[in-house]
Amino acid sequence: MQPGMTLRIGIAGISGRMGIYLAEEAAAAASLSGGISHSRPGPAGAPLFPDITALAAESDVVIDFTHASTVRAHAEALAKTETPWVLGTTGYGPEDLAAVAQAAKVIPVIASPNFCTGVNLLLLLAEKLGHALPANQYDAEILEMHHRQKVDAPSGTALAIGRAVALGRGVKLEDVMVSGRDGATGARKDGEIGFATLRGGQVVGSHSLLFTAGDEQISLTHHAFDRRVFASGAVRAALWLHAQPAGLYGMRDFLKL
């Protein structure tokens, strides 16, 4: 981008519910270059491009809230076009994460399951509490609820909370995670991090972290009332990311936490 020019932001998944909010926030804060959509028309007046490469060619940064199945292809395309990437997609696996890390060797990437400031403060507190509260005395449980259309469970934010607790305890989440208890599961083991998932209606996002001991309970809860809070956070992250060198960043880097 030339000095003095307005940042051009492209939206992958521009016709989705989040995509529409992202387009509005991008147009208000910078310049909306357009988007890609393979299902529905995008917002009125927003140019649509046939693929991620074409969108990247007309954008200074791309915000991506699409689907886990697109992560590897988008990582490769954006690295080739050297276009900074704001990744808000959730539900992707280790191979996808490796592709993101590979792209970050060439371009700046900020990846987060949640671009809301409040949630990222909760993650910081979750790590600190995980470190301070003995795992054999305080049982950690995470409860989340989202709208009925959400396709992945537990949510990316719930998993991020679990990883924060695990990091504070010095363990890997995969080694202590218990999700979806059903039937005769036996007594709870020390150190487990439990997950419970609820789906219904049009709940934007609700997450609670509970540490429960024999004589007290500590709870942290965040409720999102409007999807726009995620969109505005992602656009602010995009404005920041464009000036960063190649690398893989998180919201803590952006918020300086």
Active site residues: 146, 150
Separation CA 246–CA 244 (nearest Å):
7
Show the tokens assigned to 72.
């590897």
Separation CA 164–CA 234 (nearest Å):
21
H-assigned helices in the chain: 17-29, 52-57, 71-81, 94-103, 117-132, 156-169, 173-176, 228-241, 251-255
Using an 8 Å Cβ cutoff, are 117 and 93 in contact? Answer: no
Using an 8 Å Cβ cutoff, are 42 and 2 in contact? Answer: no
Pair type for strands 31-36 and 61-64? unpaired
Separation CA 130–CA 172 (nearest Å):
12
